[in-house]
Amino acid sequence: MSAQFDNSAFTAFTHQFAAAAARANRLALENAETVFGVQLKTLEKNMDAATSYFGEVAEARDLDAYKVLWPKGMQIAKDNTERLVAAGQEVFGLNLKTGEALGQLVKSQFESATDKMQATMAKATKTTKR
């Protein structure tokens, strides 16, 4: 006994798979774009703060000016580190949301495939009982 090959079911399955792959790809690309933007914005702020500080250091002429600049440099380093940590947390949250969205996509694909398989099996059992 051999089962008949249903070309329309195969075509529908491949179409559904391609659509799901395209959605997953779009989600991943959107996430990568957003993550890159967050990291670039953080890098830009940190570079602006550092170059401004180094400009002030270059203009300092005596020891008293360096004494005043030392705490400011430490504050800039602290602020830069805090921005990096905040950006890392934001990136982690974005990746988590993207992972959840991809998980939902996979779950819906499995549920859809299960429903179709159950319908096919029910149809096959009805035809074999006759």
Q: Where are the alpha helices (DSSP H) in 1-62?
A: 7-59
Helix axes 7-59, 63-129, angle to 10 degrees: 180
Given pLDDT bands bounded at 50, 70 and 90, which one contains residue 118? Answer: confident
pLDDT the model gives residue 6: 62
| Residue 22 DSSP SS3 | helix
pLDDT the model gives residue 1: 42
Query: Could you tell me which of 89, 72, 81, 82 has the C-alpha nearest to residue 35?
Result: 89
Say how far apart CA 120 and CA 117 lie, in whole Å.
Answer: 5
Mean pLDDT of the chain: 88
C-alpha distance from residue 123 to each of 49, 116, 118, 127 (Å): 69, 10, 8, 6
Given pLDDT bands bounded at 50, 70 and 90, which one contains residue 4? Answer: low
Say how far apart CA 21 and CA 14 lie, in whole Å.
Answer: 10
pLDDT tens digits, 72-112: 999 999 999 999 999 999 999 999 999 999 999 989 888 88
pLDDT the model gives residue 2: 47
Lowest mean pLDDT among 12-21, 58-67, 76-85, 92-101: 12-21
Residues with Cβ within 8 Å of residue 41, at least 6 apart in sequence: 87
pLDDT the model gives residue 5: 57
Lowest mean pLDDT among 25-29, 69-73, 120-124: 120-124
Say how far apart CA 57 and CA 68 lie, in whole Å.
Answer: 10
Say how far apart CA 27 and CA 112 lie, in whole Å.
Answer: 20
